[in-house]
Amino acid sequence: MKNIRKMISILLIILIALAFNINFSMAATTHDVASEDDLISAVQTATNGDVINLTANILLTKPLGITGKDITINGNGHTISRNVNNWTPEDANATLVTAGGVGTKLTLKNINFRNSQKYGVQSYDGAYVVLDGVTIADCLFGGVLVNAGTVEVKDLTLYKNGQSSNNGIEIAKGNGLYNSDNNPLLVMNGKISSTENDNVVYIAINDKLSEFEVQNTENTVNKIFPSDGKVVITDENNKIVYVSNTTDKAQIAGKVYRTVTVVVNEVNVEMAVEDGASISKEEVEAAIDVKSFGNYTLAGIYSDAEFKTNFDFATPITADTTIYAKLDPIPETPAPEPEPEPAKPTQDVSPKTGESVMLEVSVLVSVLSIISIVALKRKEF
């Protein structure tokens, strides 16, 4: 019995030691890199959960690929860009950073991508890429390529990308992926902004891309919806801010939305609302931006153009809807009346008569007489 207890105790000790070693080995490792060679080495040696920290800007002489790993690259505000004087891609992929294959997850944080020969970032054939605090500019083909992979947008800023026209996020299924079971998926989980309004999302027009999907997380700021062969992106007030190009070759999956058109002073402002949801007066007011119309105040939101029936904001939006905003001019405050100047005292300028002159002479003589008497009295003393 004692031997059995002893063996159980030994086994427990061994199991605890093994568990400690497993947890220790699974602890994330941080790799600090300051050059292209450092970055390539860190990617090769990294294991799932590792974080690669950039401590300087990095110029790449060839594309960087990540496959079969779940890692994070934290740019700490630094930039990865192409070395234009020494750029030698080994194959057709000339994107700066590509995550490829099912099971690959790449999180990019606080990092900038500049001047790629093709795209700044690519999610390829089932890979999952998270963009969190990422800016992309001056890439010749486009900013982000969702190439039969998944891209989750947490915080993305796009500048001009593409040569002839802007290309922010391209949804595609390129060469070599015709028989792949993976389709592009774009997930909005935060905010996106762009200095360009055209093709913030661009849908590739080819026979390979037959379907893709867009999704929104519960707390995302910007939302994305499918709409008649295109996608639209809304701001925090459900106002449509970006509209993609249109395709008739691909089916787009995603939550159905309804268009709410707000007519205000003969201007149409379009909002996108998830089917069955409602909107608030505050959202409408923010979407139409009353101040942009001049010196007006919002008098009300109505269901009819004659401003007779108030719109019921509690009503779920289940079909495309038009509502009407009434603006009333703010009365101008009249300028204050100028205060009258105080009256100046008038002077008697009437001509003196003979009697008044004689009176003045008599008074003067009397004064002189008194002065003379006083002077004589002083001499006597």
User: For the chain, where are the alpha helices, taking DSSP H only?
Assistant: 2-26, 36-45, 281-288, 354-380
Q: Would the pLDDT of 19 be above 70?
A: no
- Mean pLDDT confidence for 27-41: 94
How sure is the predictor about 24, in pLDDT bands with cuts at 50, 70 and 90?
very low
Q: Give residue 287's pLDDT.
A: 92
**pLDDT tier for residue 353 given thresholds of 50, 70 and 90:** low
* Gap between the Cα atoms of 80 and 135, Å rounded: 11
Q: Give the three-class secondary structure for 198.
A: coil
Residue the block writes with tokens 């201007």: 267
**pLDDT surpassing 60 at residue 258:** yes
- In this prediction, residue 339 has a pLDDT band, given cuts at 50, 70 and 90, of confident
Instruction: Give 280's contacts (C-beta < 8 A, 6+ positions apart).
Output: 313
pLDDT surpasses 90 at 6: no
Q: Is the pLDDT of residue 303 over 60?
A: yes
Picking from 286, 285, 272, 274, the residue whose alpha carbon sits closest to that of residue 242 is 272
CA 56/CA 350 separation, integer angstroms: 95
125-139, 191-205, 361-375, range with the lowest pLDDT: 361-375
Lowest mean pLDDT among 114-123, 233-242, 289-298, 356-365: 356-365
Cα–Cα–Cα angle for 233, 145, 199, rounded to 5 degrees: 40
Better-predicted residue by pLDDT, 347 or 147: 147
pLDDT band at 351 (very low <50, low <70, confident <90, very high): low
Q: What is the pLDDT of residues 50-88, one digit of tens each?
A: 999 999 999 999 999 999 999 999 999 999 999 999 999
101: left (phi over 0), alpha (psi -120 to 50) or beta: left
Q: What is the pLDDT of residue 338?
A: 75
> Could you tell me what percent of the chain has a pLDDT over 90?
71
pLDDT per position as a tens digit, 176-202: 898 899 999 999 999 999 999 999 999
**Residue 375, both tokens:** 């002077």
**What number is the average pLDDT over the span 162-189?**
93
Residue 271 has pLDDT above 70, yes or no: yes
pTM across the whole model? 0.78
pLDDT on residue 363: 55
Residue 145 identity (one-letter amino acid): L
End-to-end CA distance of the chain: 150
Local structure of residue 58 (DSSP, 8 states): E
CA gap 127, 62 in Å, rounded: 20
Is it the case that residue 311 has pLDDT exceeding 60?
yes
How do residues 206-245 score in pLDDT, each as one tens digit? Answer: 878 999 999 999 999 999 999 889 999 999 999 999 999 9
Burial (0-12, 13-18, 19+ Cβ within 10 Å), 321: middle
CB-based contacts of 14, cutoff 8 Å, min separation 6: none
pLDDT band at 22 (very low <50, low <70, confident <90, very high): very low
Tell me which residue of 18, 131, 14 sits closest to 72, measured CA to CA: 131
d(CA 67, CA 92): 17
Confidence of residue 253 (pLDDT cuts 50, 70, 90): very high
According to the model, what pLDDT value does residue 7 have? 57
pLDDT at 367 over 70: no
pLDDT at 4: 60
SS3 88: coil
Average pLDDT over residues 253-280: 92
Q: Report the chain's mean pLDDT, rounded to a whole number.
A: 87
